[in-house]
Amino acid sequence: MKQKAIILDERSIGRALTRIAHEICEKNHGVAKCVLVGIKTRGIYLAHRLAAKIEQIEGQSVVVEELDISLYRDDLSYKHESGNPSVNEANLVDVAGKTIILVDDVLYTGRTIRAAMDAVIDAGRPAQIQLAILVDRGHREFPIRADYVGKNVPTSKLEKVAVKLIEVDREDQVAIFE
């Protein structure tokens, strides 16, 4: 695949996360009842960055949790002896009555987010679930939309959006490949 364009660099990722942090604080009238849940892998790093920005804005820390949804996916090929996927319970804090803000890098078909919502609901009954996404590229297969978006990037299904974060990839960048 060949790189078509860099759509976000380090500074623009920082600006997008700052804007999202402000929007989270405004929409929820603070963060007292909020929990940021980063979807593994890059979502957790984005959630920690958002938490740091929110603490700068609000002067209050927000709980950050990590969620691995791999066993909740509907396209999982591994099945248990019973014929059903082997699902581990999500190890989240008590979500009952809280505003859970799912955080991920790219929103595409919506399947990852649907799986994340299933995992959160298995952990309890939140007051609400919101979604913060760095890049929304379209092409939904489920009726899911983000509450907070860093950048909307219309793409073709043949293109790939690659998010690189310093914590994993030693650089901050979002690029489109064709």
Domains in the chain (CATH in brackets) are: 3-71+91-177 (3.40.50.2020)
Strands (DSSP E) contained in 15-167 are 34-39, 63-67, 99-107, 128-136, 148-152, 160-164
The 3-state DSSP class for residue 112 equals helix
Query: What is the residue-level pLDDT of the chain in tens, covering all 178 positions?
Result: 999 999 999 999 999 999 999 999 999 999 999 999 999 999 999 999 999 999 999 999 999 999 999 888 676 544 444 455 444 456 787 899 999 999 999 999 999 999 999 999 999 999 999 999 999 999 999 999 999 999 999 999 999 999 999 999 999 999 999 9
Phi, psi of 102 (to 5 degrees): -70, 135
How many residues appear in the chain?
Answer: 178
pTM, entire model: 0.91
Instruction: Read off the tokens for 15.
Output: 């600006």
Distance CA 122, CA 151 (A): 30
